[in-house]
Amino acid sequence: MTEALIKRTIAALDLARHLEVEAPATLTIHGLTGASRALVAAACLRATGNPVLLLTGTAGEAETAARDCRFFLGAEAVGHLPELPGDPAARAVLPPEVTAERLHALRLLREGRGLTVASAAAASGRFLTPEALEQAVVHLHPQRLVSPGALAERLTWNGYRRVPQATEPGEFSLRGGILDLYPPLTPHPIRIEFLGDAIESLRTFDPETQRSRSPLPRALALPVIETFLNPDSRQAALAGLDRLPDGRVPPSLREALEEGRAAPGLPAYLSCFPGVDAGLLDYLPPRALCLLDDPDQVTAAAVRASEEAVAADARWAAAGVAVPPASARLTAWETLRAALASRVQVALSPFPLPEGLAGEAIPCATEALPAYQGRLQAFVEDVTRWLREGFAVTLVARSDAQARRLQELLREHALGAVLGVASGPERPLAVAVGEVSRGFRFPAVKALLVTEGELFGTRRLPPPRKPARPGTTLQALGAMALGDLVVHMDHGIARYRGLERLAVAERDGDYLILEYANGDRLYVPVEKMGLVQRYVGAEARPPALDRLGGSAWARAKARVKASVRALAKELVQLYAARQVLPGHPFSPDAPWQREFEASFPYEETQDQLHAIRAVKADMEKPRPMDRLICGDVGYGKTEVAMRAAFKAAMDSKQVAVLVPTTVLAMQHVASFGERFAPFPLRVEMLSRFRSRREQQAVLQGLRDGTVDIVIGTHRLLQRDVRFRDLGLLVVDEEQRFGVAAKERLKQLRREVDVLTLTATPIPRTLHMAMLGVRDVSTIETPPEDRLAIRTFICRFDPAVIREAVERELARGGQVFFVHNRVESIHSMGRYLKRLLPHVRIAIAHGQQSEAALERVMVDFYARKHDLLLCTTIIESGLDIPTANTIIVNRADRFGLAQLYQLRGRVGRDRHRAQAYLLIPREEALTEVARRRLQVLVEFTELGSGFKIAARDLEIRGAGNLLGAEQHGHIAAVGFDLYCRLTQEAVQELKGEPVESPVDPAVRLPAEALLPDVYVDDPGLRLALYKRLAAAEGEEALEELALELRDRFGPPPPEATWLLRGMALRLVARRLRAVEVDLRSPTVRVRLDRRPGVDGAAAAALLRESAGRLRYGPQDTLTWHSGEEDPERRAAAVKNLLRRLAAP
């Protein structure tokens, strides 16, 4: 796509001739701006055919340069060498993606292909020797001779973690003759199937569903640590640690090495391992070209990195921590510079070349582009002029959807653009998909590159968005751990005590053990797992266990059912009344709406698009809209509100955005102001922090219609606020407003369109139950940059606190310090002031007056404070991108949902966020607290621990949607049963049939279970049983059977019978059969009192059977099948039941 542009650059600069020189030689290319540096670097690569090493000053510049180079050369041809953290007291293992990216970049250099980018500090590091690295790489292809066990051992030595189910990079799982492997940098994990001691096949699989995707001819697995963890290497490393100068090595490192696993802080000790003694020059082929991006900056950065390493040595020595000296960890810059000087060097400079400087020089005179800030007409005029001057103009969009939007916008202005890169007279204007830091005008090449940043305003580049996993936060939430509280639909609340294999009627089967009050136990066969759900209640205090055979459970269910029915009746009546209220039908989208939406810098998620379409459809109806949008901070709710606001303003209607706090109002004003700036719309803010004169001006503007959009706190609901023509009210976090405010909102709902936003998730089950009684849109796609928060559990230690705060402040950020005891928060403030005398500390807690609290928060948002010492008042709704480290004191006292929300306050800046969970030095943690904290550390992404936290949050969402009085009812019966009862009540009131489900008992002639030798992990086995029991149709069951074969190999007879039994249960459920017994050739089927039998089919079958099928007392069908073979009998019974079942 970019090859034509690269060729034109080579020709315009005559690069082939300039670079045809013998080493040593220096060439300067000056006057480069924005991404033109990357274009010239790509041209150098193509002009010579030799590998290129591009050195930058800082790590950030290296990341930007690598991203720009990938746009011109493609991802495969560009390597990036990230810096390696050298902190021996690090509290998290280096992510496997970082290591793999480094090793990929080194291999690219070694193999003499492509372009590798590194900062000065990264280039100064020490690495595995090229020979050792190649030996560590695992090559996979069919027919390769290696046993599953040997491959598993090799992967462990390379730093991979063995787990029951591979779902994250750096993991593998082994199940008999199938090994699942997730190498970093591969788009999908790999499933390796063995035949004996040879690989039979390779295929990719989906980490979420665990299903295979497509075959692979070959694959490569890079190590995830930069050394080996085989016994010899570990012994040598331990000996190297013993030889370090006085001081102590972190005990966790020594312990991890003895156990054969990677450990936090390992990168600082790599030089103790054998084979880690190469420099970057050992990877650089003799013919490689060395590019220095602003050589003075590269030299200064290298010197700074060396000085920082020496200073770190002194700091760690003073703290009593032994580390290898900087000389063992780094290559001296003088050595590196001398070696580079012996090669062909190209200096890339943004400045004109001073006279008299040695070496050849190529002038480029590229120019930066103006910032259009969404002024599309000005941009169109410039493009028209550039095309007249013979420039090839390329717009760079970050997604396919955005590229198509830009193409459409240009077409509306009579400019035809193709998709791709502009390449001259035949393709003068194009829209390309990719990421480029900044655009440029390159007169020598007659090329022009424009980014969305220049067109619509500077935006922070997000990390690559992972594909959305539908319903991630809701999937597998029922996963039960030993000791969890569970709810049996018929017998009530119990404690789950595990899965046990029992012999019943001479056949083995797996049973769930549920413990009730007084130690009574209930054994539930796995095929009846649908009756058991994990208990999730609304209260922190756990409920009492029910008594087996008691009546309390039945009474609790009846109470909740009555309450739910009354609530559903009220909601149904409210919804019906709203349908007949008159409202303003807004016009369809205007052309400016498309321009406004095109300025959104990210690709919308499917959830967002559904919500936007639903809101627009509601607005265009002749009745007032009342829609709730649910989704956590960062999920894109504000964008939905902005598009609705813009649509309302285009119909000359005013918009009010109501938020609970001044800080949120300020954030919304900033984001609305930026997006609405290119359009003739006035956005104002109304809050008590504005002066009286400013407030009066806004109030006057609302009365006379000159203010189009107003954003404010509950000040907006006061009597002196009058609108000329209010058309839309957006309410953010309505549950945080008082009773009076809610009453005023209730009145407004009858008059104008209302859009309510909430950051508390609403569960899908409840959402489905409310269909037809409440308009709800849920946005469930995970936020783009929330998934990489690095979490540490530490004992309370002043050194840890000081280091965490100073590191954050050094990168220009701010810190939250959560201390959830108001009575001691000021003494903690004094302690922190002594510990951090230069840090500006503010205190915020719920017992301050509302005005004082808001003033502190506003000042923190305005960066007048560095550290906010606060209680959990920051738990929700606060978005301060510069606050990127959170320290939670006494984290053991918080619930998982609370910790999840607190941790979610950070992680919205371009820097990686840090969360420190502090626990007391002297106290031992309770088992529950330890497990809760460990969950947060293990799942930096939305893993199962977060799914449970999300479920706890959903209970708050249920309370917000249905009213706080429902919390007690949720606590009484558990969340799942509560949702089911709500759904049944709504269906009943809407006149839809509600039938109590039948759970048939199917008695089989053989054992039906998943044997240990087939699925060895008990947790995985339980999850599979649960999914089998929950399958709602034969198609879903067939999919599960295919999945079992795919993941675990051909099922043994017991697993096949389990699948047959589940299939029979599905048909029996349709027939409303209570029991099906096919243990003998005489099959018995006992029916419910209201059977789902097709009368005509039954009559026909009775006639055809010649007396073999009979209908007897107690609603029992008896069929003399005559089939001695159990498998054929099962198939015949299934066919019989299918024919009998009503369609």
> Does any domain span residue 97?
yes
> What is the CATH number for 890?
3.40.50.300
Q: Is residue 460 very low, low, confident or very high in pLDDT (cuts 50, 70, 90)?
A: very low
Question: Which of 456, 484, 513 is where one domain is finished?
Answer: 456
Alpha carbon 290 to chain centroid, angstroms = 38
Determine the Cα–Cα distance for residues 721 and 703; give it in Å rounded to an integer: 8
Q: What percent of the chain has pLDDT over 90?
A: 36
Note whether 314 and 187 are same-domain residues. no
Is pLDDT above 60 for 939?
no
Residues 6+ apart with CB under 8 A from 1079: 1003, 1004, 1005
Note whether 672 and 727 are same-domain residues. yes
Nearest to 1085 by CA among 978, 1005, 1003: 1003
Note the pLDDT tens digit of each residue in 149-184: 999 999 999 999 998 889 889 999 999 899 999 999
Question: Which of 940, 958, 975 is where one domain is finished?
Answer: 940
Q: Is-contact 446 392, C-beta < 8 A?
A: yes
Note whether 89 and 162 are same-domain residues. no
Note whether 66 and 31 are same-domain residues. yes
Helix (H, G, I), strand (E, B) or coil at 1125: coil
At which residue do the structure tokens 């086995």 appear? 1021
CA-CA-CA-CA torsion sign (309, 313, 319, 320): positive
Q: Is residue 852 very low, low, confident or very high in pLDDT (cuts 50, 70, 90)?
A: confident
Note the pLDDT tens digit of each residue in 182-197: 999 898 999 999 999 9
Average pLDDT, the chain: 84
Note the pLDDT tens digit of each residue in 691-700: 889 999 999 9
Task: Provide the H-helix boundaries in 263-375.
Answer: 295-318, 326-329, 333-341
CA-CA distances (angstroms) from residue 932 to 757, 762, 786, 893, 895? 29, 23, 19, 10, 8
Note whether 652 and 707 are same-domain residues. yes
Is pLDDT above 70 for 944?
no
Per-residue pLDDT at 470: 33
Task: Name which residue leads in pLDDT, 229 or 788.
Answer: 229
Per-residue pLDDT at 923: 60
Sheet holding 289-293, edge to edge: 78-81, 115-119, 52-56, 289-293, 344-349, 25-30, 360-363
> Does any domain span residue 145?
yes
Note whether 771 and 845 are same-domain residues. no
* pTM of the full structure: 0.74
Determine the Cα–Cα distance for residues 887 and 17; give it in Å rounded to an integer: 58
The average pLDDT across 430-454 equals 92
> Does any domain span residue 892?
yes
Sheet holding 1116-1120, edge to edge: 1001-1003, 1073-1077, 1082-1087, 1116-1120, 1109-1112
- How many domains, the chain? 6
Determine the Cα–Cα distance for residues 586 and 576; give it in Å rounded to an integer: 22
Nearest to 272 by CA among 233, 310, 215: 233
Helix (H, G, I), strand (E, B) or coil at 445: coil
The average pLDDT across 127-134 equals 92
Is pLDDT above 60 for 951?
no
Note whether 810 and 692 are same-domain residues. no
Per-residue pLDDT at 469: 38
Note the pLDDT tens digit of each residue in 500-539: 888 776 678 889 999 999 999 999 988 888 888 888 765 5
Note the pLDDT tens digit of each residue in 574-597: 777 777 788 899 999 988 898 888
Q: Is residue 929 very low, low, confident or very high in pLDDT (cuts 50, 70, 90)?
A: low
Nearest to 95 by CA among 222, 305, 264: 264
Note the pLDDT tens digit of each residue in 803-851: 889 888 877 889 999 998 899 999 999 999 999 999 999 999 878 887 7
Per-residue pLDDT at 283: 93
> Does any domain span residue 265?
no
Biggest CA-to-CA distance, the chain: 112
Most confidently modeled range among 232-246, 535-549, 789-803: 232-246
Determine the Cα–Cα distance for residues 654 and 708; give it in Å rounded to an integer: 5
Q: Is residue 300 very low, low, confident or very high in pLDDT (cuts 50, 70, 90)?
A: very high
Q: Are strands 52-56 and 841-844 parallel, antiparallel or unpaired?
A: unpaired
Per-residue pLDDT at 529: 83
The average pLDDT across 926-948 equals 52
Is pLDDT above 80 for 934?
no
Structural domain that includes position 143: 138-221
> Does any domain span residue 617?
no
> Does any domain span residue 553?
no
Note whether 838 and 862 are same-domain residues. yes
Is pLDDT above 80 for 546?
yes
Q: Is-contact 766 692, C-beta < 8 A?
A: no
Q: What b-and-e string marks burial along 431-445, b requiring 16 or more CB atoms within 10 Å of the CB?
A: bbbbbbbbbbbbebb
Is pLDDT above 70 for 752?
yes
The average pLDDT across 604-628 equals 90
Note the pLDDT tens digit of each residue in 329-343: 888 888 888 888 888
Per-residue pLDDT at 948: 46
User: Poorest-confidence range of 16-20, 601-605, 1089-1093, 1110-1114?
Assistant: 1089-1093
At which residue do the structure tokens 């400079």 appear? 349
The average pLDDT across 934-940 equals 53
Is pLDDT above 60 for 478?
no
Note whether 207 and 309 are same-domain residues. no
Determine the Cα–Cα distance for residues 877 and 856; give it in Å rounded to an integer: 16
Note whether 288 and 421 are same-domain residues. no
Q: Is residue 463 very low, low, confident or very high in pLDDT (cuts 50, 70, 90)?
A: very low
Note the pLDDT tens digit of each residue in 662-682: 878 888 888 898 889 888 999
> Does any domain span residue 60?
yes
Q: What angle do CA 484, 485, 487 make, to 5 degrees?
A: 135
Q: What percent of the chain has pLDDT over 70?
A: 87
Task: Provide the H-helix boundaries in 974-1081.
Answer: 975-989, 1018-1030, 1034-1048, 1053-1071
Per-residue pLDDT at 466: 43
Residues 6+ apart with CB under 8 A from 291: 41, 44, 52, 53, 54, 55, 345, 346, 347, 348
Note whether 774 and 628 are same-domain residues. yes
Question: Which of 940, 957, 983 is where one domain is finished?
Answer: 940
> What is the CATH number for 1041?
3.90.1150.50
Pick left, alpha or beta for residue 207 (phi over 0 → left; psi -120 to 50 → alpha; otherwise beta): alpha
> Does any domain span residue 228?
no
The average pLDDT across 14-19 equals 90
Per-residue pLDDT at 468: 37
Nearest to 68 by CA among 466, 603, 451: 451
At which residue do the structure tokens 């000159």 appear? 706
The average pLDDT across 549-573 equals 85
Note whether 158 and 121 are same-domain residues. no
Determine the Cα–Cα distance for residues 510 and 1015; give it in Å rounded to an integer: 13
Is pLDDT above 80 for 740?
no
Per-residue pLDDT at 941: 44
